[in-house]
Amino acid sequence: MRRREFIAGLGSTAAWPLRARAQQRGMPVIGFLHFGTSEALNSKRASAAFLQGLKEMGYANGQNVRIEYRWADFQDEQLRTMVADLVQRRVTLIAAVGISTSAIVAKAATATIPIVFATGGDPLKLGLVPSLNRPGGNVTGVNFLVSALASKRLGLLSELAEC
């Protein structure tokens, strides 16, 4: 009787690695980090656009991805605490939106979690990336060229005023 129990036990432990490999990984978690407030119109637009972009890529919050929202209410220290929490939770990605401060603080907190930013400032001058062509590291994003276009806009206004 003991021999049969031993062989049965061996059979079940031999199948254990197969069961372990078949287990599903957890749902990816995106940390949505915004320096502003959740009530601000700009913040609402940013989160709606973010969700729409995810939807277009086939992701739906709660179905195949989970989003952890963090609003810093324009408080630097609160932003640092929130980033530290996201890093501790080992989120899959940090989406740093709003002003550049979110991306700067996130970059300072981790060199391993991918960070995606959206900024109107110059990412080179802000120290977010070493190059626009090859951002390298764990930080990449979208630059709206607001600062680069400001002088062009003033030039156009000047020309229009002369007409």
Q: What is the CATH number of the domain that holds 107?
A: 3.40.50.2300
The rounded distance, in Å, linking the Cα atoms of 144 and 146 is 5
Tell me whether residue 112 is in a domain. Answer: yes
Number of domains in the chain: 1
Share of the chain above pLDDT 70, in %: 82
The Cα-based distances of 121 to 24, 98, 105, 108, 130 in angstroms read: 40, 11, 15, 18, 14
Which whole number is the average pLDDT over 141-149?
74
Among 60, 64, 54, 112, residue whose Cα is nearest residue 87: 112
Among 97, 33, 27, 38, residue whose Cα is nearest residue 62: 27
Which phi-psi region, left, alpha or beta, contains residue 99 (left: φ > 0; alpha: ψ -120 to 50)?
A: beta
The rounded distance, in Å, linking the Cα atoms of 21 and 25 is 10
Tell me whether residue 21 is in a domain. Answer: no
Tell me whether residue 130 is in a domain. Answer: yes
Q: Token pair for residue 135?
A: 């951002």
Pairing of strands 139-143, 93-97: unpaired
Q: Give the residue ranges of DSSP H helices in 23-98.
A: 41-56, 76-88
What tens digit of pLDDT does each residue of 66-122 get? Answer: 999 999 999 999 999 999 999 999 999 999 987 788 999 999 999 999 999 888 788
Among 104, 105, 107, residue whose Cα is nearest residue 82: 105
Higher pLDDT, 71 or 7: 71
> Model-level pTM?
0.72
Tell me whether residue 57 is in a domain. Answer: yes
Tell me whether residue 35 is in a domain. Answer: yes
Tell me whether residue 46 is in a domain. Answer: yes
For residue 120, give its domain range: 29-150
Tell me whether residue 124 is in a domain. Answer: yes
